[in-house]
Amino acid sequence: MTPRVRTLFITVTAVALAVPLLTVTAEAEHHSPPPRTGFELSKGVRWTTQTEERAFLADVDRGSDRVRVGRIGTSKQGRPIRLARIGNREAPNTVLLICSQHGDEPSGREACLTTIRDLAHDRDRRTRELLSRTRVLVVPTANPDGRAADTRGNSDGIDINRDHLALRTAEGRALAAVIRDHRPDVVYDLHEYGATPPYYDRELFDLWPRNLNTDTAVHRESTILSGRYVRPAARKEGYTTGTYGLWTDPETGEPIRQVAGDGQERILRNASGVKNSLGLLIESRVDALTVEERTDPALNNRRRVGSQLAALDGLFTFTADRRGKVESATTAARLAGLRDRGPVYIGGADNDPAGPEEIIADPPCAYRLDAAQLAEVGDELALHGVTHRRDGDGALVPLRQSQRKLIPLLLDSRATYHLTKGQPMTAC
């Protein structure tokens, strides 16, 4: 791949996607051809079913020693939430793809499934080098109940992408455990959106962590991933790009209104930044662009998936080019919490300065939880990777740890989405 060679996918969709064929060739690790998804087999007429996904991932796992597929959770309706691990498990650099948090946004899931297959089977030099230095983790269907029902929320109607703080859903808890256990350097979150022409109708939008608790270097690398890699890669293959949540004047390109994309900490791209990982949200356009796409939904579907694949090319090029800088940024951000210095922000964003009431200028050294509070939120703290120590019949949660800036968002009464009202401690 380059690092993506979609040999089989491109064979059936290249004309419709209007994307040049890649010149790098790849060969399967085994004589039998690599498996194809239901989407590929139908040439985009339909999305891959969950039964097909299970068989596809099993075939990929059997056919390559580069990949391991396992279950990391189970939805309320009993469907598995799977994680594919690809590449060198000892590599210091880790990239996590989260696909289909919203069940009615399937194009990113299709891109993730073929990415698993291609990384597992392609033998070109760039793919081998990528996987020798990087672990790629993929959750292909983060919301299996929602995908089965073609709904945004899970089977309880909860938006999983608003549950990355409270962790009330099985899906949110599974993703939190993956982030805690694997400490990804990059969390890449694939979505789709409905256009509002002419102000909001690019083929691909993206957005980095806007939350002000994101470390400066982590924030910088996230914006570099967007501006220097993902957007140029998409534009190179003919897709228009822009910033998620911003309406722009069609003549000048200047922002005229923000309709989404704030610094809210319970959203994955922001939670990733608070947890010291680079984050990037990707949104492909659902609506048909042309008369041909309106007439032939499969053509529209292939364009949606193609834009996701183009953006993934940018992600993997970024990983290869800036691996060292990313590792330095995320490592330094995690160590910074141990110094226990600096403010914590409970509001604002990188394009919306926090007011005085949105800044905890001198955070406490710890929050005390009584026994009932510890019983209520102890599991969630553990899933977030936040440690505590026993204190009588309760516990002290010190800020001096790598997740320092997350803790007030969980336990301070002033934080919008706090889990419980911990008692601030000024002496520890």
Question: For residues 188 and 266, what is the distance between their CA atoms, to the nearest angstrom?
Answer: 16
Beta bridge partners of 87: 135
β 204-207/241-243 pair status: parallel
* Length of the chain as a residue count: 428
Which pLDDT band holds residue 386 (cuts at 50, 70, 90)?
very high
Amino acid at residue number 154: N
The tens digit of pLDDT for each residue in 325-347 reads: 999 999 999 999 999 999 999 99
For residue 190, pLDDT beyond 50: yes
Q: Residue 6 has what pLDDT? A: 41
If one compares 18 and 200, the residue with the highest pLDDT of the two is 200
pLDDT of residue 361: 97
Percent of the chain whose pLDDT exceeds 90: 91
pTM score of the predicted model: 0.93
Assess whether pLDDT exceeds 80 at residue 311. yes
Q: Is the pLDDT of residue 3 over 50?
A: no
- Is a pLDDT exceeding 60 seen at residue 138? yes
CATH code for the structural domain at 7-334: 3.40.630.10
Percentage of the chain exceeding pLDDT 70: 93
Residue type, 350: D
d(CA 410, CA 47) in angstroms, rounded, equals 38
Work out the average pLDDT over 114-121: 97
pLDDT in tens, 278-293: 999 999 999 999 999 9
**113 pLDDT higher than 50:** yes
pLDDT of residue 31: 56
